[in-house]
Structure 1
């Protein structure tokens, strides 16, 4: 079936050149053959006009154009003939393979090859003269050669389109990887920033509120001391993070990252910050073996303790805050518990980002974490954070 889409400008150009060229040959009297049933020269213009018109639909209806063009070429053999008609037919054969369906592109070369062989054998049998081979050669040049050329061009075109598609897919995957990497890095920096600063700012907020609400010189002096200490420590942590950002973060974790060996200092600072709230911090390390662990594991354990102490400072009722390190089989167990309930006095608001950050750290290491209120025996309800972290290097995914 013909398509009524607008012809491509190249097809219009081919049709115009073919028609004008054929008319020029006809005016000059240059014919391909004589002694034909229709010897009147003007009759050869009819196949010429049909084939040139078919050039306009060589892209939109290539197979229909080839069928009608074949009939026109056969009709041309009963006239004096026109070279332009034959040349345009070869283009129709080429276009049928190049722009036709995949099945047609496979079928046409085989069909034209068989036709060429059959014509060659047939004329050799008929004329019994080696010169009959020339008819087979011409038939192959008019039909089989354009079909093979179309196959070659189509294969190159399909290969180029496939390569372009793969390039686009590769670029898309690269962009997705880049976006995921940027998102992961931003999340890591957000966790670092929150864990480093929240503890100090929470202590500053609580003690500044106490200094403003309790009009006692000793209390105000003590609160100002805690505020100054946390301000200096927080500034140092911020400078460390800024230095990491400026150096490009070549390593997943900087060499100056805190480790489990720094927990004593962290808990000592927490004792100072929490004293005014009636909290007492206790550190229990019940591990049999206390050798160095992978840096991401030590950093995650440190940050979990740090964030848990910060939450205790914000929300825990007066009582002990127990930090415990131990082994749960091959896993490092980190547990922080505090009294669950309301307390009097100033409190710092929370956003919930700390718990999210702790879960992200544990998931990246392939561990497990639980946080929530639990009851132990007849004692008060406690808030417990417990994380179990794999210490094998192969389990670390960040």
Structure 2
């Protein structure tokens, strides 16, 4: 505000100096009278930012009065600032209208001056002067206003881009946390469920001979070591950059290992692989492995023998089925986080597949069964026949543990 007042005072002082120096048209009026319109235009300078249209109005009144008593050069020069402020700080639509008005006034003013003087040179001189006084400050303000609006738009766009980038970052962090949680749940739950079940059985049975206890403890140790190894492997994968190494990526081909772990935990489990075994995309391979791992973990926690696993390689998809007897009276051996089925559905959905989990009828003894059916699409149909003897079919059934 103080700079605006300072500018108005300087403009008024400069105008007074010009009037004192004779920079006005002599009309036979006292010089002090020329100071009145000058003061009015300088008052417009005081309100140029807060009320730009009022500033222009004061300038128009001052120039009109000055035209009758002068005109004086100082008042005209300060009036150009009134025009400039009205365009720069006033409404955008008014600024465009004012450009047309000032251009018309410049042309008409020059034509009238030339007609009155009966000299085309006067027309040219007055037209140029009117253009300098009226059009030049308006066009200058329009250019600056456009640059200012463009800079504001760029700042707004940059803020929006930064906001979207932050939202993307937060979404990526949330997705990565979800993925890590899902991986940890699927990987660790299987090992530690087997450990908990075996240790519970060993503690609850008082009649076990030392050899049986030793076998149980060996199985517990094996699951512990494998769980820690998989944990270290996953931490290494999370820390490194690039794609997941082929050597450490879990595969559906490792289904026999998962089934064997369930057998060691005390369930009767069988595995059958149907169709032509082939390489599948890494995402489908990992999803199928984790779904099978979680389904077997749930069978350990909540189910009973027998557990039937079928991995079927069909045209354009891989189907994983886990079928087990429901535990007695629906009682779970171990408490669950109720996130297993949700996690399996998420994994299937991420690769464009589907998963159904629910009651699967009854077996021959009238016991209820639970079935997990995952359908995972794949576009890779390359077939691996192992020894070249044709499609591989594996049917494994082992009793007891």
Same fold (TM over 0.5): yes
Shift of 1:343: 6.7
- Which of 252, 257, 264 in structure 2 is aligned with 1:260? 252
Distance in 2, Cα, partners of 1:124 & 1:225: 114
Distance in 2, Cα, partners of 1:44 & 1:335: 101
Q: Corresponding residue for 2:361?
A: 375
Shift of 1:14: 2.0
Q: Cα deviation per residue 1:163-212 (whole Å; 9 max; x = unaligned)?
A: 11111111112222222222222221211111111111111111122222
Q: Corresponding residue for 1:77?
A: 67
Distance in 2, Cα, partners of 1:254 & 1:40: 99
Q: Cα deviation per residue 1:221-262 (whole Å; 9 max; x = unaligned)?
A: 2321221010111011011012112324x2267651111111
Q: Corresponding residue for 1:178?
A: 169
SS at match of 2:254: helix
Q: 1:255–1:145: structure 2 CA closer, same or farther, 3 Å change rule?
A: farther
Mean CA deviation greater in 290-299 or 8-17: 8-17
Q: Corresponding residue for 2:269?
A: 281
Distance in 2, Cα, partners of 1:34 & 1:148: 28
Q: Cα deviation per residue 1:351-382 (whole Å; 9 max; x = unaligned)?
A: 02222221221111111111122325874321
Q: Corresponding residue for 1:195?
A: 186
Q: Cα deviation per residue 1:38-82 (whole Å; 9 max; x = unaligned)?
A: x11111111111111111221222123212311211211222444
Q: 1:346–1:34: structure 2 CA closer, same or farther, 3 Å change rule?
A: closer
Gaps of 5+ in 1: 1-7, 394-398
Structure 2 residue 23 is the aligned partner of structure 1 residue 32:
yes
SS at match of 2:359: strand
Aligned residues: 376
Distance in 2, Cα, partners of 1:387 & 1:348: 24
Q: Summarize the alignment of residues 67-106 of structure 1 with structure 2, pairs less than 5 Å apart.
A: 67-106=57-96
Distance in 1, Cα, partners of 2:197 & 2:227: 15
SS at match of 2:268: strand
- Which of 303, 318, 332 in structure 2 is aligned with 1:316? 303
Distance in 2, Cα, partners of 1:123 & 1:25: 24
Q: 1:54–1:119: structure 2 CA closer, same or farther, 3 Å change rule?
A: same
Q: Corresponding residue for 2:233?
A: 240
Work out which structure has the larger RCO, using CA pairs closer than 8 Å and 6 or more positions apart in sequence: 2
SS at match of 1:78: helix
SS at match of 1:77: helix
Q: Corresponding residue for 1:22?
A: 15
- Which of 345, 348, 352 in structure 1 is aligned with 2:334? 348
- Which of 66, 71, 76 in structure 1 is aligned with 2:56? 66
- Which of 266, 279, 282 in structure 2 is aligned with 1:292? 279
Shift of 1:18: 1.1
Q: Cα deviation per residue 1:332-364 (whole Å; 9 max; x = unaligned)?
A: 211111112327999221102222221221111
Q: 1:254–1:123: structure 2 CA closer, same or farther, 3 Å change rule?
A: farther
Structure 2 residue 221 is the aligned partner of structure 1 residue 228:
yes
Q: Corresponding residue for 1:338?
A: 324
Structure 2 residue 141 is the aligned partner of structure 1 residue 145:
no
Gaps of 5+ in 2: 381-401
Query: What is the Cα-based RMSD across aligned positions, in Å?
Result: 2.2
- Which of 169, 188, 196 in structure 1 is aligned with 2:160? 169
Structure 2 residue 144 is the aligned partner of structure 1 residue 158:
no
Shift of 1:329: 5.7
SS at match of 2:68: coil
Does the aligned pair in 2 maintain the 1:41–1:80 contact within 8 Å? no
Distance in 1, Cα, partners of 2:347 & 2:330: 33
Does the aligned pair in 1 maintain the 2:190–2:293 contact within 8 Å? yes
Distance in 1, Cα, partners of 2:367 & 2:243: 44
- Which of 356, 374, 393 in structure 2 is aligned with 1:387? 374
TM-score, scaled relative to structure 2: 0.88
Does the aligned pair in 2 maintain the 1:244–1:254 contact within 8 Å? no
- Which of 243, 248, 266 in structure 2 is aligned with 1:251? 243
Distance in 2, Cα, partners of 1:217 & 1:13: 103
Shift of 1:157: 0.8
Distance in 2, Cα, partners of 1:385 & 1:150: 72
